[in-house]
Structure 1
Amino acid sequence: FIGMDQNGKKISLQGLLKEHKSVVLFFYRGQWCPYCNKHIKELQDSLQLLTSKDAYVIGVTPETNENISKTIKKTSAGFSIIQDKDDDIMKAYGVNFMMDDATFSKYKGYGIDLEVNNGNTRHTLPVPATYIINRSGKIKFVHFDPNYQKRASINTLTKEL
């Protein structure tokens, strides 16, 4: 994949794998999700440990750049986050799902407007998954759980790196 991070830096997986032993790629739903913010904060708090193993941490989200800025403010994230504007990266990793109308309305009732947050009307979110991709481009580790409350632990990630 190729995308632009929050700083306007062009990020390509192929380029990252030339420079690093591995990439920790994670998908998150948005700045409105407390479980996402907790996980991002944990990744940030352990960033030095992860990078000491020559890993590059990168997040992917459908939310707008404005909302990525809110995520960074809430979590102090110091790593790249890419807006997956057209859901292409989510689709490539098989983590995208379409929220049904009833759930969309329920979220809106909670004050979470995905159309505003993501800047589109698709109602698509990622399963909050985490991948470790090694230098040869092979996926070495996957944490994929439709239960958005469950995330890959830092302990597991460091063991897998």
Structure 2
Amino acid sequence: MSTIADQVTDFNVGFNEQIGPRLAGVFADEQAGLTAGGVPSDAVSQGSIIPDARLVDAAGAEVSLYDAIGEAPAVLVFYRGAWCPYCNITLKHYQRTLLPGLNDRGIALIAISPQTPDGSSAAVANGELAFTVLSDPSNVLIEQLGIKTEPNAAARSAHTDLGFDVADSNADATADIPFPTVLVIDSGRSVTFADVHVDYTTRTEVATILSAVDSLARVSA
């Protein structure tokens, strides 16, 4: 089974050819800048407590994060939106290769973005996702976790050239988005594993997540 990194490499070849060298250069510069900036000092990390939050499901109904998680440990995946091809690659991959392992372990998988419920529905449909997909409509939780960012001006201009604007997809009509992040939390809402990716073309691989989940199980035993 190919990794997310393998799929991204294959995707980038065709994508860069499609958009041309100018736009490809804009996105490469953005990724380099994000990498140079590093993970924010106040970003969620091991030992952080996840606060409850009022989120919205794909049908538009309000739901408590704690209610969605339940009483058991969980894996939270923060992604940019259904407009992001790297997010779609990742969520589809998690559906195929992560979800079965989490189901076997009794661990919930929840994906969260700032997009509208329609965007969440699109993400579900695009990936035929069978796990919970929620929206943080005002980026409240994302900001509390210290993982909020936004595309730079050049990238937003490039998005316009490609026919879309992040703000049109977000529930709060801003361009605020999370750094792609995976958190493993225990039954006490404490983070036991945090992986924040400032370069949005890279993501947490399934083997790494399952290893973190299994480490949590050993500690709890």
Within 1, Cα distance between the matches of 2:57 and 2:160? Answer: 27
Q: Do the aligned residues in 2 keep the contact of 1:17 with 1:134 (CA within 8 Å)?
A: no
Q: Which is richer in helix?
A: 2
Counterpart of 1:39 in structure 2 is 90
Q: Give structure 2 stretches of 5+ with no counterpart.
A: 1-51, 214-221
Within 2, Cα distance between the matches of 1:121 and 1:100? Answer: 16
Match of 2:102 among 26, 50, 66: 50
Once the two structures are TM-superposed, the CA of residue 79 in structure 1 deviates from its matched residue by 1.2
Give aligned pairs, total: 159
Written as runs of structure 1 = structure 2, the 5 A alignment for 1:6-85 is 6-7=58-59, 8=61, 10-13=63-66, 16-18=69-71, 20=72, 22-45=73-96, 46-85=98-137
Q: Give structure 1 stretches of 5+ with no counterpart.
A: none
How big is each residue's C-alpha offset from its partner over 1:25-64, in whole Å with a ceiling of 9 and x where there is no partner? 0111111111101111111113121121121110110111
Once the two structures are TM-superposed, the CA of residue 120 in structure 1 deviates from its matched residue by 3.6
Within 2, Cα distance between the matches of 1:64 and 1:51? Answer: 27
Match of 1:145 among 197, 208, 221: 197
Q: Which is richer in strand?
A: 1
The answer on 1:102 being equivalent to 2:154 is: yes
Q: Do the aligned residues in 2 keep the contact of 1:17 with 1:137 (CA within 8 Å)?
A: no
Once the two structures are TM-superposed, the CA of residue 100 in structure 1 deviates from its matched residue by 3.2
Larger radius of gyration: 2
Counterpart code for 2:69: L
Counterpart of 1:130 in structure 2 is 182
Q: TM-score, normalised by structure 2?
A: 0.67
Within 2, Cα distance between the matches of 1:66 and 1:4? Answer: 11
Identity %: 23
Moved over 6 A (4+): none
Q: Do the aligned residues in 2 keep the contact of 1:132 with 1:142 (CA within 8 Å)?
A: yes
